[in-house]
Structure 1
Amino acid sequence: MELNFSGRVVEWRGPSPYYFVPVPDEESADIRELAAMVTYGWGVIPVEAQIGEVVFRTSLFPRDNGYLLPLKAAVRKQSGLAAGDDATVKMTVSLH
């Protein structure tokens, strides 16, 4: 399943900061339809994502009936993204 969306980079402040792009409601609903077939534990969903020219693999985190796309420091640096920036994402849900 391939999805394209845009979202604002948000920072979650915990013991160490994490950065995410929230997956919009419509795309999250599409992912939920496949979730039982693709999750490998506690609801995380493996994906390949692309922001600009940067392609990376990660797992979506379930949150409030939707999903968050985590952005590692290397991805943010290569993409030039910081909290509050808008990101356009091309994402493929990995089907085992």
Structure 2
Amino acid sequence: MSWTFDAELFRWKSDASWFFVRLPQELSDEVRDSLTAPPGGFGSVRVVVSIGGSTWATSLFPEGKGGPYVLPVKKPVRIAEGIDDGDVVTVRIALEQA
């Protein structure tokens, strides 16, 4: 299964170095419904992600119980794609095959 969506890149806290995009709630619910195995630690879900020309494997993490998932966007991707806090990006995610 795979999905494509647009989301705003945001810094976790004003002084943090972690950046994320938040999946829409409806899409987060679809991801949960598509799982064929229990989630990993902290409710994480392994995915393969593409933003622009960058593709990498990572995990989605739930933002609270039943809330939307957030997706970390690492620094090398932000640099390669020229994106920063507040930019809207097109994201493609696919569940990682076990």
What is the TM-score with the length of structure 1 in the denominator? 0.90
SS at match of 1:37: coil
Q: Which runs of 5+ in 2 are unaligned?
A: none
Q: Which runs of 5+ in 1 are unaligned?
A: none
Contact 1:38/1:46 (CA < 8 Å) preserved in 2? no
The residue number in structure 2 matching 1:62 is 62
Correspondences of 1:38-77 after superposition (within 5 Å): 39-64=39-64, 65-77=67-79
Runs of 4+ in 1 over 4 A off after TM superposition: none
Higher strand share: 1
SS at match of 1:31: helix
RMSD between superposed Cα atoms in Å: 1.8
What is the TM-score with the length of structure 2 in the denominator? 0.88
Q: Percent identity?
A: 31
The residue number in structure 2 matching 1:7 is 7
Give the letter for the 2:97 counterpart. L
